[in-house]
DNA sequence: GTTGCATAACTAATTTATTCGTTGTATATT
DNA sequence: AATATACAACGAATAAATTAGTTATGCAAC
């Protein structure tokens, strides 16, 4: 699957938030300075061509919605990143950030708790 | 700081691996089909303008080296990602991938071990 | 039904990124 | 010194992404 360009990603972020929306609605959720209506309209049609969104037609107006969830996309995106920067090892990545103190003690404790639960769940099978 | 474009990133990956290198050497580390010498030369000079690399001159030839480490860049890059996709919470991101089973039990156990060490270290202070 | 408005589709213009040919110069080779 | 070689610098050509104007059509208001 392709990666989103910067402009495409901004539109997707709005669509993920809204779940679905008309061009007008998407536009409203942009920060100032807002792009032109047609700019958003074009991008959303490009996203459609690339298979990231689809639409439901109400007469002549289109309500767009994502075909890929934010979670799916982030999963794909992070996989690429982990592959390119941490030789495909999730562990290397997390360890690096833990050591870099980008993760607080509180966060680490929370993560460990969740992982313990997951490990238990996996092993139970 | 700016993000690297696709072509720029490929050159940086080689430079990070080599630590330093002449255009010719960088070129050698590209997979087939290799780009033209001038293509790499141009990209490396763009990277220099953007402040990602610098060079040492030996007479008329230049040996380029990164000004930003792979770790620094990956840190910056992942921060943006975590901010955009996990409302700036590292914990949310890791938890998501743990639950998605993108992280194996073995990896999780390893991560927990490292985190325990880090937590202990932090608390000792 | 004519006018005005809203919207999608199309297209043009602009900007940014990518690729590589050409040129000039220094150095090595003969 | 003439020729060949290697490289950086420059710049042209192309490609990709971004932005927004223009056009066509349908619908609503009058």
Q: For strand D, which nucleotides have at least one atom less than 7 Å from a protein CB?
A: 6-12, 17-22, 25-27
Q: What is the pLDDT of residue A101?
A: 80
Q: What is the pLDDT of residue A12?
A: 98
The residue ranges of every structural domain in chain B are 6-66, 89-125
H or E element that contains B31: none
Residue A2 — very low, low, confident or very high, per pLDDT cuts 50/70/90?
confident
Q: What's the complex ipTM?
A: 0.87
**pTM (whole model) above 0.90:** no
| C-alpha–C-alpha distance, residues A55 and A51, integer Å | 11
The tens digit of pLDDT for each residue in A29-54 reads 999 889 999 999 999 999 999 999 99
pLDDT of B65 above 80: yes
CATH number of A6-66: 1.10.10.10
Q: Where are the beta strands (DSSP E) in chain B?
A: 53-58, 61-66
| C-alpha–C-alpha distance, residues A41 and A19, integer Å | 17
- List CB contacts (< 8 A) between B83 and chain A: none
Which residue of B68, B73, B88, B91 is the best one to mutate when testing the A interface, meaning the one whose CB has the most A CBs within 10 A? B91
- List CB contacts (< 8 A) between A122 and chain B: 101, 105
Residue B101 — very low, low, confident or very high, per pLDDT cuts 50/70/90?
confident
Mark yes or no for CB contact B78/A75 under 8 Å.
no
The tens digit of pLDDT for each residue in A102-124 reads 889 999 999 999 999 999 999 88
The tens digit of pLDDT for each residue in B31-60 reads 988 999 999 999 999 999 999 999 999 888
pLDDT of A78 above 90: yes
Closest protein CA to C1' of nucleotide C18, residue: B7
pLDDT of A23 above 90: yes
Q: What is the pLDDT of residue A100?
A: 87
H or E element that contains A66: strand A61-66
Q: Least CB-CB distance to A77: which of B81, B101, B109? A: B81
Give B89 to chain A, closest Cα distance, Å: 9
């Amino acid at each position: 699957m392709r990666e989103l360009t910067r402009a495409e990603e901004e539109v997707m972020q709005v669509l993920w938030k809204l779940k679905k929306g008309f061009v007008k609605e998407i536009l409203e959720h942009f920060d100032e300075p807002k792009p032109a209506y047609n700019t958003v309209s074009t991008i959303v049609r490009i996203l459609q061509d690339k298979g990231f969104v689809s639409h439901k037609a109400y007469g002549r107006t289109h309500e767009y919605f994502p075909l890929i969830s934010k979670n799916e996309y982030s999963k794909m995106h992070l996989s690429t990143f982990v592959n390119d920067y941490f030789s495909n090892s999730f562990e290397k990545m997390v360890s690096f950030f833990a050591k870099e103190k980008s993760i607080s003690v509180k966060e680490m404790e929370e993560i460990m708790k969740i992982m313990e639960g997951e490990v238990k769940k996996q092993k139970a099978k």
